[in-house]
Amino acid sequence: MLATLYIRERKLSRKYISSGSEFESKIGYSRAVVDGNYVFLSGTTGYNYETMSISSDPVEQAEQCFKNIENALIQAGSSIDDIVRVHYIYPNKLDFEPCWPVFKKYLVNAKPAATMFVAGLLDDAMKLEIEVTAKLNT
């Protein structure tokens, strides 16, 4: 009984953020989950939801990734400066270094722990995906 109560309380304390992507309902995930003092943001691509398009340029995609990340973090009660961990996922490792100036622009204050992975992504048009964990503004 006590374990069940703990699980219910924990689920009630979670906040789910949606981007409206069809994949969220098809796959069963959230753009972000606020749990405790942290925001866990799903892998975010450079898809521009205003124009419903994605650039073919990895640097432009990196910029759009951070715009999408910033929007989700604001909805969650956090910010870019509160990011504590970042994972970069690239299908082509040669696209990583050209994006460094974009990463520095957005993460110069946060200076999060970071890891870069090389892996395939859902769509060949996606040149990178960025996943972050941030602290809540308290």
CATH of the domain at 70: 3.30.1330.40
pTM over cut 0.75: yes
How many domains is the chain built from? Answer: 1
Q: In what order do the strands lie in the sheet with 15-17?
A: 15-17, 32-35, 38-45, 129-135, 83-90, 113-118
Residue 6 pLDDT grade (very low, low, confident, very high; cuts 50, 70, 90): very low
Q: Interior CA angle at 124 toward 120 and 126, to 5°?
A: 85
Does any domain span residue 3? no
Does any domain span residue 107? yes
Residue 5 pLDDT grade (very low, low, confident, very high; cuts 50, 70, 90): very low
Does any domain span residue 10? no
**Within its chain, how far is the Cα of 34 from the centroid?**
13
Helix (H, G, I), strand (E, B) or coil at 69: helix
Does any domain span residue 123? yes
Helix (H) or strand (E) holding 4: helix 2-13
pLDDT tens profile 55-111: 999 999 999 999 999 999 999 999 999 999 999 999 999 999 999 999 999 999 999
Domain extent, residue 74, equals 15-135
Does any domain span residue 27? yes
Does any domain span residue 7? no
Helix (H, G, I), strand (E, B) or coil at 28: helix
Q: What pLDDT is stored for residue 10 in this prediction?
A: 55
Does any domain span residue 63? yes
Does any domain span residue 90? yes
What span, in angstroms and rounded, lies between the C-alpha atoms of 17 and 97? 30
